[in-house]
Amino acid sequence: MRFNIFTERMVLTPLGTDFLHSVNDYALDYENTKYMCFLPNTSSEETLDFLKNAESEWNKEKPNFYEFAMLCQDRHVGTVSIYFKNGIGELGWIVNKQYWGNGFAYEAAKAVIHYFAANIGTTHFIAHCDADNIASYKTMEKLGMVRTGKYGGRKNRAAKQESFEYQYELVL
C-alpha cells in the first residue's frame, strides 16, 4: 500500500525508480555521503538497484521498510526512511547538500515518527550516525531522541578508517 505523508513544507512520497537522477545527485557525491555506511554509490546502476528494491518493498502487503522521497515545491531535496526490526523503527535520512541547513531532515523524520506512531502503533524509534556528523545527531536531539550508545568500529563506505557511531532512541 503506497501512501504519502504531508508536512508543513513537504510531501513524503514513495521512493522509486522515477527518482534515479535526483537520487544520483547526492548518492554519487562524496561530500554529501561521507558519513554514510552504504554510500556513496559507485554508479548509476547501483542507485537504480537500490531504488528498485525500495519500490519492490512498497509493493509488499506488509513492508519491512519504507523509503520516502522528500519533495519541497516539487523539488526532491532528500530521502527519509524507516526500517523495522522487532517492532522498533530505525530512522534514517539524507538531504542533498544543496538543501542543507533548512530543517528538512527534522521535519521529515518528525512526520514519519508521528505517522507510524499514530497509524502502526510504533512507540520505539532508534537512529544511528557517525559521531562526527554533528548535523545528524543535532537533528536526533531536536526530535527528542536521547543518546543511548557510542560504539567503535563504524566503517563508512568511502572512509579510509573506522570511526565512532552514536545511537539515539525515542520511546513514546
Closest CA to 37 of 171, 162, 147: 162
How high is the pLDDT of residue 3?
Answer: 97
CATH number at residue 165: 3.40.630.30
Residue whose grid cell is 573506522: 162
> Left if phi > 0, otherwise alpha if psi is -120 to 50, otherwise beta: which for 153?
left
Q: Is 123 helix (H, G, I), strand (E, B) or coil?
A: coil
165 Cβ neighbours under 8 A, 6+ residues apart: 128, 129, 130, 131, 150, 151, 152, 153, 154
CB 14 within 8 A of CB 57: no
What is the number of alpha carbons within 13 Å of residue 22 lying toward its C-beta?
21
Query: Domain tally for the chain?
Result: 1
- Read off the C-alpha cell for 27: 548518492
How high is the pLDDT of residue 154?
Answer: 87
How high is the pLDDT of residue 157?
Answer: 86
Helix axes 44-58, 20-27, angle to 10 degrees: 120
Indicate the pairing of strand 65-72 with strand 75-85. Answer: antiparallel
How high is the pLDDT of residue 159?
Answer: 86
Q: Domain containing 68: what range?
A: 5-171
How high is the pLDDT of residue 158?
Answer: 86
Q: How far is CA 108 from the centre of its chain?
A: 9
In which residue ranges of the chain is pLDDT below 70? Answer: none
